[in-house]
Amino acid sequence: MIALFLMLSLQSAAPDIVVSGTRLSEAYAACVKQTCTPLRDAQVSIAFAERQFRDGAYIKARRTLEAAISRNKRHAATDPKPVSALYEAYATVSLHDGDMDAFKRAVGQRVRTLRDNLPGDDPAVVDAMFAIGDMWLGKHDADNAESSYKTVERHALAEGNASLAMQATLRRVGLANARGDTAGAARLMAEAEARPIANDPKLRTALQVVRLRLAAGRKDNAQIDKMVRTIGHEGASGPALIWAPPYKLTEIAAAQKAAAKFDTFNPFPARSTDVDPIEWVDIGFWIAPDGKTNEPEILRGSPPTGWAGSLLKQVSERRYTGFSTSSADRGVYRVERFTLRGTYDVPLGSLIRRRSGAPRLEVLDLTQPDMAASAKRS
């Protein structure tokens, strides 16, 4: 989905930043006084907000990024990549905080900043073309996500950009598969594999991963095991998720989801007296060379963390692509942030907009194995 905190190697080389302790605070204070270049300000402010986010201070992280955007948005024409990175980071924190309106606005501002100030074939602009579809996925709006990916695919085909069109098609395949439309996913996959670009070695791993996910959707365990053993990464940043069991909904969330789906009475409406704090945990786990996960554990979180027990089970049942390693290597270690929160709304009987309603789960990879590559594209 959306890459979060980018240690921005965006344009020319910049001084290193210590992402903890007094030196970061001093660097941030200097940028608040507007003595930093837009690039330096983006680097420091995102690093400072990342520290706040990791500590569970979502509101503080949003305010840090809001202030940085306010200081730098006037530089969008001359420094579009640092400004767009601030919007991207702000969008991700807003998503975890539950403010879906702020999330949507920030994604739109990120895309406009890049599209209006860079050539159309710039890698950052190309990457941002998927951001609108990803935003609709974050809002759990599969129809608009499909429409966005289809628009990217259509434009790419019209412009002769076969690689971009393939990426868009594969996202449509994954979306159809996630929605349970196995026939539609298979049809789109067949169309993708019939294109000449499907023979490009650079796309081979992406195609293999999507095939695996389709096989997992059919619960074809024999095929999954065979493909996990043979799939190659060919420059990929790390193991790719093939299959995971669904997350368990709370009783309230399940009832509210059913009420919305069937337009029936909601037994748990949001009320003015509701208090809806954020709950979060960081779960660490190993991904073994055979693609299975080992030793998931809660590393830290907002107390109490008992609500997250089902997450450990979910992580333990995931399957990733396999990879080659030495016999002494345990595999790849990953840490993910799980945030359980309501979304911002005005509850019944109140005039104050705040988090309320059914809790929703957001997940973010904190280890970010491809962070440097993402920074260069942004």
Q: Is the pLDDT of residue 267 over 90?
A: no
Structural domain boundaries, residue 163: 21-238
Percentage above 70 pLDDT, the chain:
76
Instruction: Kindly state whether residues 56 and 192 are assigned to the same domain.
Output: yes
Instruction: Kindly state whether residues 161 and 133 are assigned to the same domain.
Output: yes
Name the residue among 247, 327, 259 with its Cα closest to residue 288.
327
Instruction: Kindly state whether residues 198 and 305 are assigned to the same domain.
Output: no
Percentage above 90 pLDDT, the chain:
46
Instruction: Kindly state whether residues 221 and 294 are assigned to the same domain.
Output: no
Instruction: Kindly state whether residues 255 and 232 are assigned to the same domain.
Output: no
Does the residue 13 lie in any domain? no
Instruction: Kindly state whether residues 120 and 203 are assigned to the same domain.
Output: yes
Instruction: Kindly state whether residues 216 and 80 are assigned to the same domain.
Output: yes
CATH of the domain at 109: 1.25.40.10
For 99, 105, 170, 212, the CA distances from 146, given in Å and listed in that order, are: 23, 19, 11, 21
Query: Final residue of a domain: which of 203, 238, 273?
Result: 238
Sequence-ordered list of residues with C-beta below 8 angstroms from that of 265, at least 6 positions apart, any chain: 259
Does the residue 5 lie in any domain? no
Query: SS3 for 377?
Result: helix
Query: SS3 for 349?
Result: coil
How confident is the model over 326-340, as pLDDT tens digits? 555 778 899 999 999
Does the residue 130 lie in any domain? yes
How confident is the model over 212-225, as pLDDT tens digits? 888 877 766 676 67
Instruction: Kindly state whether residues 64 and 162 are assigned to the same domain.
Output: yes
Number of domains in the chain: 2
In the chain, what is the straight-line distance between the N-terminal and C-terminal CA atoms, in Å?
14
Please, what's the b/e burial string for 201-231 (b: 16 or more CB within 10 A of its CB; e: otherwise)?
Answer: eebebbbbbbbbbbbbbeeeeeebeebbeeb
Query: SS3 for 304?
Result: coil
Instruction: Kindly state whether residues 203 and 257 are assigned to the same domain.
Output: no
Instruction: Kindly state whether residues 267 and 358 are assigned to the same domain.
Output: yes
Query: Final residue of a domain: which of 178, 213, 238?
Result: 238
How confident is the model over 59-70, as pLDDT tens digits? 999 999 999 999
Which amino acid is present at 176? Answer: A
pTM: predicted TM-score of the whole model, two decimal places: 0.80
Q: Is the pLDDT of residue 282 over 90?
A: yes
Does the residue 9 lie in any domain? no
Instruction: Kindly state whether residues 326 and 217 are assigned to the same domain.
Output: no
Query: Final residue of a domain: which of 178, 209, 238?
Result: 238
